[in-house]
Structure formats: structure tokens, C-alpha cells
Amino acid sequence: MLSDTMQAALNEQIKAEAESSQIYLAMASWAEVKGFDGIASFMFRQSDEERMHMLKLVKYVNQRGGHAIISSLDEPKLDYSSFQALFRQLYRHEVKVSESINNLVDIALSQKDYATSNFLQWYVSEQIEEEATAKVILDKIDLIGDDKGGLYLFDNDMKNFTAAGHNIVQ
């Protein structure tokens, strides 16, 4: 059985994961409209992954005798002024999510809820990957800057990675 504190913290994370999915979806839509199909496919796929992260938490909370709450979401507030600005926000967002996962582990340990701590380890590993992916993308975008040819090639790279079902981090 989950403690009230643990349940409330997990429910906050459910909201955070749902908002992550919306952020990626907003980025995907923006990239698609701009004609960057590779970046869009990558973002659509990330959005689905975030939804899966959310669902996994919903199932876990309910399975442990709690009640997963599906709440309203904040609208993604993104700075679309440049690719750099957009991807910098993405990276910062993933760093923030990692912090909130670490915070959840802290709460689980302080409550001696070892089952939840164990469950959260999957998220800890996942965040290492997500942060690394966001950083690799940001580094590449920083290198390319506003160079149109560079962005075109980068978009193609993203298309190939998504088509192959690979992560951009190799």
C-alpha cells in the first residue's frame, strides 16, 4: 500500500510525464509545419514514449492500492524563435525531469517504500538516456547554428534514426 505522501508525489509525476508528452507533441507539430520531417518523426516518437512513461506510473499507483489521478495539463510554453532555443528548452526539461525522479526516489527511501524505489530505478536509467539524447541533439544544433544546409542534413539524420528505430545517441 502506498503512503499518502508517496501517492501524491507519484501523481505529480504522472502529470509531469503527460506534460512532457505534450511538449514533444508541440515540438513535433512545429517541426512538421516547418518541413523538418525527420525532427518531427523523432519528436512524435518521443511524445509517445512520454505517454508510455505516464501510463506505467498510472498502472503502478493503481496496482499498489492507490488512485492515479488524471489531471488537467499546463499548455507547453515553448520558445520557437530558433532551433537552438527549442532544443535548449528540451534539454533543460529533461534535466528537470531527472531531478524530479531523483526526488521521488528520495521520498520512497525516506518512507522505507523499497518497492517504489525499485520500480523507479527504471525511470532513473531512462532519464540517463533521455538526457544524453537531448544533449547530443543540442550539441549538434549548436554546431550547425542557423546554417540551412546543416539543418537539412541534420533533419535527414533524424529521419534515418527514427526509421531504424534507433536512438540518436550511438
Q: Which residues bind ligand OFO (CB under 6 A)?
A: 17, 20, 50, 53, 94, 97, 126, 130
Give rounded-to-5 percent helix, strand, coil for the chain. Answer: 80, 0, 20
DSSP state of 81: S
Pick the closer one to ligand OFO by CB: 132 or 153: 132
Q: How far is residue 127 from each of residues 17, 32, 62, 90, 98, measured CA to CA in Å?
A: 12, 26, 23, 13, 6
Q: State the minimum distance, in angstroms, from the CB of residue 169 to ligand OFO.
A: 14
Pick the closer one to ligand OFO by CB: 17 or 113: 17
* Cα(65)–Cα(61) distance, integer angstroms: 7
Q: Are 14 and 69 a contacting pair, CB within 8 Å?
A: yes
Pick the closer one to ligand OFO by CB: 37 or 126: 126
Q: State the minimum distance, in angstroms, from the CB of residue 93 to ligand OFO.
A: 6
Q: State the minimum distance, in angstroms, from the CB of residue 130 to ligand OFO.
A: 4
Distance of CA 77 to the CA centre of its chain: 15
Q: Could you count the other beta carbons within 10 Å of the beta carbon of residue 113?
A: 19
* Cα(76)–Cα(22) distance, integer angstroms: 7
Q: Which three cell numbers stand for residue 54?
A: 505516464
Q: State the minimum distance, in angstroms, from the CB of residue 94 to ligand OFO.
A: 5
Pick the closer one to ligand OFO by CB: 113 or 130: 130
Q: State the minimum distance, in angstroms, from the CB of residue 153 to ligand OFO.
A: 26
Q: Which three cell numbers stand for residue 56?
A: 506505467
Pick the closer one to ligand OFO by CB: 2 or 16: 16
